[in-house]
Chain A
Amino acid sequence: ELKVEQNPLFLSMQEGKNYTIYCNYSTTSDRLYWYRQDPGKSLESLFVLLSNGAVKQEGRLMASLDTKARLSTLHITAAVHDLSATYFCAAAPRWNSGGSNYKLTFGKGTLLTVNP
């Protein structure tokens, strides 16, 4: 059974600082997603990472994937208040691993608060 752990669960940052959110998963995975959720809103897709060493960047956010370590990171550069939200990572089993590879398993989320 695929399990996903995120840390930290709570992150309070000052504007302008850098930080990283970590996402570990327990078994081989085809793809790793990062989503953002604002309070009372739905999940917004940020990144899809499909292969070992994949790195994607959008604005102040950069996501990477190390399949050997079963680890993905979401790095925040020079945080601004608008980045305050809950960030989720989610993984799906590899398609040939016998698991249901459409089934996303989510971490508990990281509540990010960026303070002035």
Chain B
Amino acid sequence: GAGVSQSPRYKVAKRGQDVALRCDPISGHVSLFWYQQALGQGPEFLTYFQNEAQLDKSGLPSDRFFAERPEGSVSTLKIQRTQQEDSAVYLCASSKSRTGYSQETQYFGPGTRLLVL
């Protein structure tokens, strides 16, 4: 079956530009997560959605980062006025149920590699 998909796969932005990264989770998955993976590091949590509700945005690095999932399926991570330190791979993951009460695996997408010049 189809896994988590993300687009674009690669994005080059000039410093100060706004970018939008898209995530299509596995159909029917309730929980959706965004992670940031810097070069040579493990993924770091950014934000968590349960259906359309953003329950945790504690990992977002600054108020330039904004995520939404308006209909409880596709999610968009937006970064305003990009800075060079935003360069990283942005990973989206989804899981089947309400992760707080289950032990479901998070399934990851291929990521969007963002380079800010």
- A-to-B contact residues, CB < 8 Å: 4, 30-31, 33, 35, 41-45, 48, 50, 88, 90, 95, 100-109
With both beta carbons as reference points, the residue of chain B lying nearest to A49 in the complex is identified as B103
- Smallest beta-carbon distance A70→chain B, Å: 17
8 shortest interchain CB distances as A-B pairs:
A106-B42, A102-B99, A43-B108, A42-B108, A42-B110, A45-B105, A103-B45, A106-B43
The yes or no answer to B106 lying at the interface (CB within 8 A) is: yes
Give chain A residues whose Cβ lies under 8 Å from the Cβ of B105.
33, 45, 48
Give the contact-size bracket for chain B: 20 to 34
Give A104 to B4 CA distance when docked, in angstroms: 18
Partner of A45, one of B33, B41, B42, B107: B107
A–B Cβ pairs within 8 angstroms, 16 of them: A33-B106, A42-B108, A42-B111, A45-B105, A45-B107, A48-B105, A50-B103, A90-B42, A100-B58, A102-B33, A102-B48, A103-B45, A104-B106, A106-B43, A107-B42, A108-B41
- B-to-A contact residues, CB < 8 Å: 4, 31, 33, 40-45, 48, 56, 58-59, 91, 93, 99-101, 103, 105-111
Give A103 to B59 CA distance when docked, in angstroms: 10
Q: Please tell me if the beta carbons of A101 and B42 are within 8 angstroms of each other in the complex.
A: no
- Smallest beta-carbon distance A90→chain B, Å: 7
Max chain B C-beta neighbours (<10 A), residue from A35, A42, A88, A100 = A42
Give chain B residues whose Cβ lies under 8 Å from the Cβ of A50.
103
Partner of A109, one of B41, B103, B107: B41
Give chain B residues whose Cβ lies under 8 Å from the Cβ of A100.
48, 56, 58, 100
Max chain A C-beta neighbours (<10 A), residue from B4, B40, B103, B111 = B103
